[in-house]
Structure 1
């Protein structure tokens, strides 16, 4: 057998390990850059929220986090639409989610109110951030089980990180609509942070909405468009009332999702159960 040179191509034309490690990268298609650009914009928005909080502009901070959540919702969908999903993009998206939804919201809350109780307030910040990191890590290593019933795809395990950020900022929304006394009760804000952190790492089933049907009845088109228009009008004219309602509505939907999940579980004939397997995590 001919000796294989330490550098250079093999006699059979295949590249050596050294060549494969040092070969230049080829051109990158634009379709892979677009979703990553949206992710970077989301990261910039999340970091800017912290800057606004340091300047005392708390309404602008919340708006920046909401903008970050919009970009976060778009990047994955754009990647799938353009067939531009990459491992790099997935890792960047996960790190961005941790900053935008695990760090920025509670830093804003700390600067706004939690700093008044010192160490306890910071423990609330750390607890929420760590729970968000654990949730995202659990998502990154989760594997789909083909033996699970199809209906389990309609549920998350616990509250997803973007929804957690939306809920944890509820004290700010209420203050913006002149609900008195919330800022002066930092211990209540800290307990709220712990509660949302628990929801994120819990195994409580929550609605995912990822498998909603792509077709609707023709007669429902106009009512849905009307509802979208009215919702946009309310958000634009009364944003903090709208977001308070969305956060409270999401919390109210959790018992409903648990009830429906249990009914599905009771009807299924599969031996699978949530105690020994994971649900899809988003």
Structure 2
């Protein structure tokens, strides 16, 4: 008689496999449902772009990015993190931060650059895949200094998706996509792709999300409310300024990284205190 099939997809411990038909806690399913919805939003954005409904297309890509950003946090809050969910989230990132933004940008502008525009879109997608693969590999690195967890290596995929669609934001603000601008947009897309696979240190924001000084709580709430209000009322202006602000932050993150490296080098080179003689 054949043994019953097993389904280890949602097991927290892969060595313990449950029989087919066993019940899976809902806390394992909810984050994965959010991930699937994020993929649906990204793919819908692609469809809307090819229907020339670009504002809705960009909104769907941004919605996909938002959903993709919260699924992992919800999984940790619900204690529903699984290896299956981690793999699912990584594959969703390729669609939401790589394929969807590139195709929306291509349909909006890069197609006017013909083959150059398509090559730029391809390079961006490939760079996004390489960036995500490197991120997954670096998660297994042990023994690195604690301060390095506050930095990404290269521009992260969600930020890359926001940056690469800057020409679309500017188009919504009145800058008509012409053929010369399409070639400029293709060059800009390649630059974003290079930033994603570069070794440039970028602030991750993890340190800011752990603990906050009590006197900064109310100003932080106020800033978030004001930012969301501007994002809802002046969406494309706010996204344009956010993109510019991100670019301006890159030199500061690189300087902070070098400062930490210098401190580590000084600590290593500092001679150990000699022991006193008896």
- TM (norm. structure 1) is 0.85
User: Could you tell me which residue of structure 2 aligns to residue 34 of structure 1?
Assistant: 30
Q: Which residue of 232, 235, 240 maps to 1:236?
A: 232
The Cα shift of 1:23 comes to 4.5
CA distance in 1, matches of 2:248, 2:209: 23
User: Could you tell me which residue of structure 1 aligns to residue 134 of structure 2?
Assistant: 138
Do structure 1's residue 177 and structure 2's residue 173 form an aligned pair? yes
Q: Which residue of 244, 247, 250 maps to 1:248?
A: 244
The Cα shift of 1:35 comes to 0.4
SS at match of 2:175: coil
For the 8 Å contact 2:93–2:157, the answer to whether it is kept is yes
User: Could you tell me which residue of structure 2 aligns to residue 14 of structure 1?
Assistant: none
Deviations 1:50-108, CA, capped at 9 Å, x for gaps: 01101101111111011011101110000011111111111111111101111011111
Equivalenced residues, count: 257
CA distance in 2, matches of 1:7, 1:93: 32
Do structure 1's residue 156 and structure 2's residue 152 form an aligned pair? yes
User: Could you tell me which residue of structure 2 aligns to residue 127 of structure 1?
Assistant: 123
The Cα shift of 1:159 comes to 0.5
The Cα shift of 1:184 comes to 4.9
User: Could you tell me which residue of structure 2 aligns to residue 13 of structure 1?
Assistant: none
CA distance in 2, matches of 1:74, 1:7: 39
User: Could you tell me which residue of structure 2 aligns to residue 279 of structure 1?
Assistant: none
CA distance in 2, matches of 1:216, 1:205: 23
Gaps of 5+ in 1: 9-19, 273-282
CA distance in 2, matches of 1:115, 1:77: 37
Query: In the superposition, relative to structure 1, how do residues 177 and 115 fare at CA in structure 2: closer, same or farther (>3 Å)?
Result: same
Do structure 1's residue 190 and structure 2's residue 186 form an aligned pair? yes
User: Could you tell me which residue of structure 2 aligns to residue 105 of structure 1?
Assistant: 101
The Cα shift of 1:198 comes to 0.4
CA distance in 1, matches of 2:105, 2:177: 15
The Cα shift of 1:211 comes to 2.7
Higher relative contact order (CA 8 A, sep 6+): 1
For the 8 Å contact 1:175–1:182, the answer to whether it is kept is no
For the 8 Å contact 1:38–1:72, the answer to whether it is kept is yes
For the 8 Å contact 1:171–1:182, the answer to whether it is kept is no
Gaps of 5+ in 2: 5-15, 269-278
CA distance in 1, matches of 2:266, 2:133: 28
The Cα shift of 1:122 comes to 1.0
CA distance in 1, matches of 2:18, 2:259: 56
CA distance in 1, matches of 2:229, 2:67: 21
Moved more, 207-216 or 232-241: 207-216
RMSD, matched Cα: 2.4
Query: In the superposition, relative to structure 1, how do residues 170 and 183 fare at CA in structure 2: closer, same or farther (>3 Å)?
Result: farther
Deviations 1:84-141, CA, capped at 9 Å, x for gaps: 1111111111111101111011111111111112211111111111111111111222
CA distance in 2, matches of 1:6, 1:32: 29
SS at match of 1:256: helix
The Cα shift of 1:143 comes to 4.0
For the 8 Å contact 2:44–2:57, the answer to whether it is kept is yes
User: Could you tell me which residue of structure 2 aligns to residue 90 of structure 1?
Assistant: 86
